[in-house]
Amino acid sequence: MPLRTPVDIQPAASVGSVHFIAIGGAGMSGIAQLFADLGVPTSGCDQADSSTLRALAASGITTYVGHDPLQLEGVSTVVVSSAIRESNPELVEALKRGLRVWHRSAALASLMLGHRGVSITGTHGKTTTTGMTATMLEAAGADPSYVIGSPLASSGRSAHLGRGDVFVVEADESDGSFLQYPSEIVVITNVEADHLDNWRTPAAYLNGFEAVATRPGVQAVVLDVDDRGAREIAERLAGRVRVIGYGEAPDAEVRLTELDFAGTGARARLSYGEDTGDLVLRVPGRHNLANAAAAYAVGRLLGLPHNRLLAGVGGFTGTLRRFQLVGDAGGVRIFDDYAHHPTEIIATLTAARRAAGKGRLVACFQPHLYSRTRDFATEFGGALALADLVVLTDVYAAREDPMPGVSGQLIVDSAEAAGASVVYVPDKRELPHRLAELVRPGDLVMTIGAGDVTLIGPMLASLLAGNVNAADSPASAGGSTPGPAHG
């Protein structure tokens, strides 16, 4: 998956009939829906049927199961995700016909034209921060448009075409997409080396964030001054663009103090200039308090009132696959989370430890990408050692081909070296039954990863409830994997 170079764009309403290859992904489906909401003739295909595909069809979008060049008849613009290979028959045909071919980031950028763009990026926390920002701005009366990498738990929607002049997007840094979006405000949640299969070096990755913060049109950058990488970006930006820092540090302009964590929520005292108030969340973790502070800063930059923003965050109940409760059976609570980087796993398991109370914390982890497993095996092991019991399966390949010598065993070895109790179940089809044998009443189970491990929690819940027929294997579940189409 190469880095994406920004391309010239034009307004979405002027590009003719649009066809989305892999329309069923969370990121692609939201963008496609907004094109359709604008009245643009919209179609799309995916490799397998899914509830997302059926919902798009019900909204009036022409959908297909499978990839066939005949599905391009009458199409002017083809949109692809980073997961689409050059050999895809529809992409090959589109290029042969000379059709306009856009990466999903260009299609999203075309929707943003004419709006006050807000791009929310960072190594971790993009989805949650984008969801919080959209929720807070909506509660404050701004009615923003937005595209989030995962649906809001409250509405089941990942995209909305608002009547206001603000457009909030989750800006993916993994492939350089964040350089495409026309933005007035850029949020950088944190910067930590990742996606080195694209960026090659940590220095190049860091430089990418500096580049997105200094693009033409950017008027303000909001970033976490508690994060070392983001603070380095702030130092580079001094005197070049307005910077608003948030966090617990004494020099944070939006400052958090008196942090408190209880169960599956969190709260803190938030101060900004002469304004202070209680920030009360319905989602857990120190990282989510920071994410909410970023969303608040965006609202203030847009001229929205302090009190309405603080009240609005109470309406945020999370996004799918972000500490999402998926089952409660046999005295066992089962949560699912998209964490797929060691730092994200530490944040997730730290919050889960508080929520587990006196029960055991069981982490079921599926590594995502062979390259990431190779690069961070030691760090993954240390992060997973926060759990009382670790159940590991093999690598979810996603867009990559297998690499010699790289498997889940690398993380098993590093987790055991870090003192973790580990059970290795290479075949993910065996996970539900193996977990059912291992857990006991009072446990809190976290299924973690960016692949199809998300299917395991509901199957485990069915087994624990005694409904063995409902616990189908992951291999039998069709459709696109829930959650963001990047990561």
pLDDT, one tens digit per residue, over 144-199 is: 999 998 888 888 889 999 999 999 999 999 889 999 999 999 999 999 978 777 88
In a domain, 233, yes or no: yes
Residue corresponding to tokens 């856009």: 102
Q: What is the pLDDT of residue 468?
A: 54
Report the pLDDT averaged over residues 312-316: 93
Asked if pLDDT for residue 404 goes beyond 90, the answer is yes
- 32 and 118 together in one domain: no
Q: Is residue 6 part of a domain?
A: no
The residue among 91 and 25 whose pLDDT is bigger is 91
Q: Is the same domain home to 271 and 350?
A: no
Residue 463 belongs to a domain with what CATH number?
3.90.190.20
- Residue 238 shares a structural domain with residue 269: yes
Q: Which residues of 108-130 are buried (b: 16+ CB within 10 A; e: fewer)?
A: bbbbbeebbbbbbbbbbbbbbbb
Q: Is residue 7 part of a domain?
A: no
300 and 377 share a domain?
no
**Mean pLDDT score, 229-239:** 96
Number of domains in the chain: 3
**How high does pLDDT run on average in the chain?**
92
Task: Check residue 485 and give its pLDDT.
Answer: 37
pLDDT value at residue 479: 38
Rounded (10°) angle between helices 370-384 and 342-356:
30
Confidence of residue 1 (pLDDT cuts 50, 70, 90): low
Task: Provide the token pair at 53.
Answer: 């595909």
Residue 486 lies in a domain: no
User: What CATH number does the domain containing 82 carry?
Assistant: 3.40.50.720
Which stretch of 105-109, 115-119, 154-158, 212-216 has the lowest confidence by average pLDDT?
154-158
In this structure, the answer to whether residues 468 and 333 fall within a common structural domain is yes
pLDDT of residue 195: 77
Q: Is 249 exposed, middle or buried (0-12, 13-18, 19+ CB in 10 A)?
A: middle
Over residues 353-365, the mean pLDDT reads 93
Could you tell me if 341 and 294 lie in one domain? no
C-alpha–C-alpha distance, residues 298 and 291, integer Å:
11
Domain endpoint, select from 281, 315, 349: 315
Task: Report d(CA 291, CA 316) in Å as an integer.
Answer: 12
Q: Is residue 382 part of a domain?
A: yes
Rounded distance, CA 389 to CA 327, Å? 19
Supply the pLDDT for residue 134: 97
Choose the most confident range, by mean pLDDT, from 46-50, 246-250, 319-323: 246-250
- Alpha carbon distance, N-terminus to C-terminus of the chain: 12
Same-domain check for residues 169 and 285: yes
| Predicted local confidence at residue 400, as pLDDT | 87
Is residue 331 domain-shared with residue 297, that is, in the same domain? no
Q: Tell me phi and psi for residue 418, to 5 degrees.
A: -85, 0
Domain co-membership, 151 together with 242: yes
Catalytic residues: 126-127, 170
* Domain final position from 264, 298, 315: 315
Using CB atoms within 10 Å of the CB of residue 259, give its burial: 0 to 12 exposed, 13 to 18 middle, 19+ buried: middle
In a domain, 443, yes or no: yes
Share of the chain above pLDDT 70, in %: 95
* Cα separation values, 172 from 104, 123, 175, 338, 486, Å: 11, 9, 7, 15, 7
Confirm whether 5 is domain-assigned: no
5 vs 416, higher pLDDT: 416
Closest CA to 113 of 39, 220, 14, 188: 14
The mean pLDDT of 379-394, rounded to a whole number, is 97
CATH code at 143? 3.40.1190.10
The confidence score (pLDDT) of residue 487 equals: 38
In whole angstroms, give the CA distance from residue 346 to residue 350: 6
Lowest mean pLDDT among 142-146, 315-319, 434-438: 315-319
If asked whether residues 193 and 218 sit together in one domain, one would say yes
**Structural domain that includes position 296:** 114-315
Q: Is the pLDDT of residue 481 over 90?
A: no
- Per-residue pLDDT band for 483 (boundaries 50, 70, 90) equals very low
Domain boundary among 282, 315, 348: 315
Q: 398 vs 83, 104, 371, 478, CA distance in Å?
A: 8, 18, 11, 15
> Is the residue at 481 inside a domain?
no
> Both 25 and 163 in a single domain?
no
Q: What is the pLDDT of residues 253-280, one digit of tens each?
A: 999 999 998 777 899 999 999 999 999 9
To which H or E segment does residue 88 belong? none
Angle between helices 26-37 and 104-112 (to 10 degrees): 40
| Residues 216 and 271 grouped into a single domain | yes
User: Is residue 338 pLDDT above 80, yes or no?
Assistant: yes
How far CA 110 is from CA of 10, 35, 178, 223, in Å, comes to 6, 10, 13, 26
